[in-house]
Amino acid sequence: MIDIRFLRENPDVVRENIKKKFQEHKLPLVDEVLEFDKKSRAAKQEADDLRANRNTLSKQIGALMKDGKKEEAEEVKKQVNAQAERLKELEELEAKYEEEVTSRMMRIPNIIDPSVPIGPDDSANVEIERFGEPVVPDFEIPYHTDIMARFNGVDFESAGKVAGNGFYYLMGDIARLHSAVLAYARDFMIGRGFTYTVPPFMIRSNVVTGVMSFEEMDAMMYKIEGEDLYLIGTSEHSMIGKFIDTINDEESLPMTLTSYSPCFRKEKGAHGIEERGVYRIHQFEKQEMIVVCKPEDSPYWYDQLWKNTVDLFRSLDIPVRTLECCSGDLADLKVKSCDVEAWSPRQKKYFEVGSCSNLGDAQARRLKIRVRDKDKNKYFAHTLNNTVVAPPRMLIAFLENNLNEDGSVNIPVALRPYMGGQEKMETKN
């Protein structure tokens, strides 16, 4: 959510930003916000004038009573009572107008960074840099679930009976690999100075609307029936929510946290063959990183976050690239974002395994995450997040890039301590 003062002073900038996001249907929101904001401020001004006048009249009543002018005092009291009724009306109007302003401001996209490429959707995203040499072996790479099946490592049929489509059982070496990757990612991030955290896996609605747009909420979140609770789609939600309605001393920044959690997503819509298996599912586990920092430091941390993911994947012998997200591919709260994509030897192309985002002060403004400087001035923090690793997708990249022609899978040196010292995973069938 952008600053209302910025919108008042720069409505054309806000309109142009909406156009760059290819959301022309939201253009009327700007004029609606300005109109309701004008009404809200007018109601507030009239209410303030009435309060000031009431204080004056109250003193006048006291003076009249002191002088024994009871009848005159009663007449003034009638004025006070009449103004009290009007004041009540104005306070209700002010609250109503402010609610109208807020509901519209929550739907207006954040101002994107000038460096963001302009485009309508992910087809306009721009490759930034590649890390590692993509290799296509001279033998055929099976579909990732077929590789897992060779290790007796996945069971969709039983999961379908238990929970339906979009769920799975991981077993044996594949399940162990899944846990090993998460444990390695945890220690990798601790080694980079991040504080390890296990957050709540459910959050209240005020946190949900604080960390994402209404459109994202509808597309992603599972609601707990009968309670004001939602299952998290990523631990970023509850991690940023940790700082709701706080005032943090400037010296305590930056706060850098890495978190483990299961994640739950609706994943609406039809998906192609490459997005089936364990690529796009309703439940998965993830290691995340978040930063709460001073506004001037967020560009630095943005670069640090995506580099962490690149370094982790490279330590596991997986080639990756970074892709700058264009304006139309940015969620409404994001200022700037890039995807980290891993190489798929089977598809002979890269696919998304993580996303790094700078949200400016949008989440902080919604959740009232403030910073107090040495002069006791307060301002909104900047928040950032990035995927360290999400094993279901990461497993696809790992298995394809470390697969041998005989079906065995190499275990990179960095991961061996988490796999009981194994250098290879051998097929079961």
Q: What tens digit of pLDDT does each residue of 150-166 get?
A: 999 999 999 999 998 88
Compute CA distances 201 → 82, 260, 264, 402, 423, whole Å. Answer: 52, 10, 9, 32, 34
Q: What tens digit of pLDDT does each residue of 29-67 get?
A: 999 999 999 999 999 998 888 877 776 766 666 666 666
**What mean pLDDT is reported for the chain?**
91
- Closest by CA to 237, choosing from 366, 393, 379, 392, is 366
Q: Which CATH architecture has domain 4-105?
A: Orthogonal Bundle (1.10)
Amino acid at 91: E
Using the predicted structure, report yes or no on whether residue 132 has a pLDDT greater than 90: yes
Are 341 and 352 in contact, with CB atoms under 8 Å apart? Answer: yes
The conformation of residue 403, written as its DSSP 8-state character, comes to: B
pLDDT at 271: 45
Alpha helices in 316-351 (DSSP H): none
pLDDT at 47: 86
Are 278 and 154 in contact, with CB atoms under 8 Å apart? Answer: yes
Model confidence at 269, pLDDT cuts 50, 70, 90, reads very low
pLDDT at 79: 72
**Between 89 and 112, the higher pLDDT residue:** 112
Name the residue ranges covered by the structural domains of the chain. 4-105, 122-425
pLDDT at 147: 95
- Closest by CA to 57, choosing from 355, 152, 49, is 49
Across 197-201, average pLDDT:
96
Cα Rg of the chain, angstroms: 28
pLDDT at 270: 44
Tell me how crowded residue 47 is: count the other CB atoms within 10 A of its CB.
18
- Predicted structure pTM score: 0.89
Q: How far separated are the first and last CA of the chain, in Å rounded?
A: 54
Across 281-303, average pLDDT:
96
Q: What tens digit of pLDDT does each residue of 210-233 get?
A: 998 877 787 788 999 999 999 999
pLDDT at 59: 66
Q: What angle do CA 396, 401, 403 make, to 5 degrees?
A: 95
How big is the chain, counted in residues? 429
Q: What tens digit of pLDDT does each residue of 321-338 get?
A: 999 999 999 999 999 999
CATH of region 122-425? 3.30.930.10
Compute CA distances 150 → 143, 145, 153, 399, 403, whole Å. Answer: 11, 9, 7, 12, 12
pLDDT at 333: 95
Using the predicted structure, report yes or no on whether residue 353 has a pLDDT greater than 60: yes
pLDDT at 357: 97
Model confidence at 369, pLDDT cuts 50, 70, 90, reads very high
pLDDT at 73: 65
Percent of the chain scoring above 90 in pLDDT: 79
